[in-house]
Every structure is written in C-alpha cells, then in structure tokens.
Amino acid sequence: MAQQLFAEALILVTFGAAAGLLIDVFLRDRLSYVHWPSAYNLPFEFHFQTDRGLFLYAAAAVIAAILLSSLLPSLSGSNADLGLAMKQGEPAFSIRRWDLRNSFVTLQVVMSVVLLVLGALFGRAFVQLAGADPGFDISHTVMTTVWLPSGAHLARDQRLVWRDSLVRRLKDTPGVVGVTSIGTLPFMGELQQQPVRRKSDPAGTGRNAYAMGAGEQFCHVLGIPILRGRDFEITDRTRVPVPALVNRALARRLFGDADPIGVQVVAGQGQEHVLEIVGLVGDTRMRTLGEEHAPMFFTPYDDAQLMVRTAGHAGRWVTPIQGVLSRTEPPSAQDVRPLSDAAAGAIFPMRVAAGFIGSMSVVGLLLALSGFYSSVSYSTKRRTREMAIRIAVGATQSAIQWTAIRDGVAILACGILAGIALATAAIRLLTNLLPDGLEPWNPAMFAGVGLILLATGVAAAWVAVRGVSKVDPAIVLKGD
C-alpha cells in the first residue's frame, strides 16, 4: 500500500511542480520591470535567476510533499479497523476520531482564514488611502522644479529676479491659474520638524511640528482653505518678524479655540527664531496620505521649486509648461510632472500589498475549498451503505444531506475559529504598516470572512453529498 501511495503522490507532486515552474516563468517575465508612479518616475528592475539554493529549497519542498502525502497515510492506514473498512463504513466526526485527513483540511481552512483577513485588511487600507482627502487640490496642480545650468551661480538678488521671471512667464501661459513655490514636494519625502512654542512659554517647552516653505499665494494656488487671516504675499520675504501660516492642528495645540492671528511664536532648536502668525489654514496631508492631520506651519520660501495651478487636468499642461521653461534665460534644467503622480506613488506600496495579499487569499480560499470538497466527498462515499440504510428506514433527502454535511461544518468551524485567532496575532505585527484611523480589529471584517468561508464551504459540501443522498437503497444493500 505504501508503494502505491508513494507512486500516486509522486505523480501528483510532479504535475504540481511542473505547473509551479510554468507560473514562475510567466511571472518572471512580467515582474522583471515595475514602474513605480511618482514625481521622480522611477523604474524598478528585478533580476530573477535560479541558483543552487533555490533549487535545493524547491527539491526539499517536493520531497517533503511526497513523503507527507504518502508515508503518513500509509502509516495511518496500517492501524485501520479492518472490520469497519470491510463494512465500507466511515465513522461520524468527533474530536476523539480526529484523523490526519481532518487535520490537513483544518490547516487549509486556518491558512485560508488568515489570508482572507489580511487581504480584507489591506484592501480596506488601500481604499482608505485612495479616498483620503489631502486638504489641497491634486488634479489641477503641476510640480515644476527648475535648476540653473551646471556651474552657473547667481547672487541672492539675481536668483530672486530669475525665479520671479519664471513665475511671470508661467502665469502668462494660457490656462495657468497661479504659481507658487514650495519647500518640499508633497508625498516625496520626510518633512523637517521643529519645536514650536508660544513666545510667552519658557524655553525648552516647544513640541515638534512639521515645517515647510511656501511662496506667495500658496494657499490660493493649492486650494488650501484660509480659515482666518491672509495668504502669503511676495513682500513677506523681507518682513520681520517672519510671517507664518499655521494649520488648525497646530493652532489648536498652542491656543485652543483662541484666535491665533497676530500672535508670535518661537520655532527652532538651538537657534530659535520668532514667527508672527498671519494666517490660519486648513489641515493638510503633505508627508503621506496615511497619517492623521499633523501640526504644521509654513514660512516664506522663494526658490524655483514651483507648484502650478491649471484650469484643466494637470496632465494636459505638462508639455506647454515645459515649452515655456525651455525658453528661459539662462537655459535651465527642468522636471515637470502632475502632482497626481506623487499621490499615485504614495499609495503604490499599499496597492501592491493589497493586490498581492488579495490574490494569495483567493488562491488560499480555492485550495481550502478543493481540499474540503475532496474530504467531504471521500468520507461521504465511504458512508454510502449507512446512507442507504437511513433512506430505507424513511430518512428524507434533506436529512441525509445534513447528516453528511454536519461533519464538514464542524471541521470548518474549528478551522475558522483557529484561523481568526492566528489572524489576530498576525495583525498585531502589521499595525505599523496601516494608515492612521483604520480600525484593524473591526468585528464586521472577521465575521464577514468567517461567513464567506462557512457559506462557500457548506456549498462545496452540498455539491459533494448531493449524489449520495439520491442512492437506491436496494441496489446498495444488494451489493453487500
């Protein structure tokens, strides 16, 4: 019997390994080059090659699969009850009669539950990121960075004249609504943090807030609402004390519900500088779409890293803006991209994670259902004589089906409960990867996964037992 099981396992594992190799070749060709959407438009190349370690790992996995699927059943079968086997019987399910087949099916269900829960969690995270409101207009904004040619150097006054000439040229372009400078491109890296305190507070009591440079009409160009006060003006470059815009989160931290306009604060560490608040603006997400609104303040900035507001979708204005900048003096290097590229790059890792884990959860569900179907079908066929006797004494078809399905439901329930417990432990390790505000312990998510697996499992079991419930008792019992 061991030789027969070994031969069957060898054939099945060989076909499975061949299918895996074909899938490997298919995915290598399509994953060797990945384009990560971002303001930098960075391509990623992955070079896959089969080395000795990978081959040994695959060979060990194949050998382990063959041994587990052949030797363990043969050892288990050597201790079988011959009387029960000769009667073509199958014991009803119970914990005391938990066998190797039930263990493997339960393990499949457990892993399927874990993958489904993680797939649902990362899917929710991606949906939240994709629908997050950054607090400013993305679809009508173009990011424009202009550099002087290599070796060129301009004094500060000359550089301001050159930058302002760029801004005037862009504003004169049909379809351009406004132009401003920005210190750090949104979603493109870490923002500088500085401790901020009220001027009347003692030194060393400041708490960190994000600091960003912003040009004239910054809020108007980006569509950030001004709640009180005013926007930056071009004359703010030389004002003393330095004017500042603060968002609602920072104002609430420093002043509660009081009006912050005209109040002076101190920012910086080591070398502090006094800022005078001239505007209270809405909260924005400049660093990442996944974080809550963080305290932030803006100070005047006049470099040639520009944000251009357009009348239509930003992608249509990239080429016209490039044409305008190419005619500047002195000649300059430029990088012009829609702000939507940076937003797409910000959610790209979560999109990949959601897609990968979601795909794995679907594969896991199919494998669990196929294993569960095979197990129920096998055990039901072994109980054909029992079913025939039940039909002969008057049992209804629905009662026969429920008798056969009930054992499978018990296995499903055990696997679902164990899978939810394991998924909970896995989520604890992944909470730092999730966006702020996402509830990872949503009971509806766990209940939904359990109900989906239970419903599909019962349907698979019903398909498996449907034929046995229609057997002719006379034919079955006459065969004995």
Residue 88's pLDDT is 47
Residue boundaries of the structural domains of the chain: 1-79, 141-345
- The answer to whether 112 touches 272, Cβ cutoff 8 Å, is no
Nearest residue to 245 via CA among 212, 280, 269? 280
CB half-sphere exposure, 224, CA atoms < 13 A: 26
Helix (H), strand (E) at residue 159: helix 156-171
Alpha helices for 289-396 (secondary structure H): 318-325, 339-382, 384-392
Measure the CA–CA gap between 208 and 193, rounded to whole angstroms.
Answer: 6
Residues 6+ apart with CB under 8 A from 184: 191, 192, 212, 213, 286
pTM of the predicted structure, to 2 decimals:
0.79
pLDDT along the chain (480 residues), means of 10: 67 76 72 58 59 74 71 60 51 54 86 95 94 93 85 80 91 93 88 92 91 95 96 93 96 94 92 94 92 94 93 90 84 85 88 91 90 83 72 73 80 92 94 90 94 91 74 61
- The answer to whether 138 touches 307, Cβ cutoff 8 Å, is no
- The answer to whether 236 touches 276, Cβ cutoff 8 Å, is no
Residues 6+ apart with CB under 8 A from 428: none
Give me 140's structure tokens. 């009508």
Residues 6+ apart with CB under 8 A from 273: 241, 242, 266, 267
Residue 409's pLDDT is 86
Residue 96's pLDDT is 45
Residue 214's pLDDT is 96
Measure the CA–CA gap between 426 and 379, rounded to whole angstroms.
Answer: 33
In order of 19, 148, 332, the CA distances from 162 in angstroms are: 62, 10, 11
Measure the CA–CA gap between 386 and 381, rounded to whole angstroms.
Answer: 10
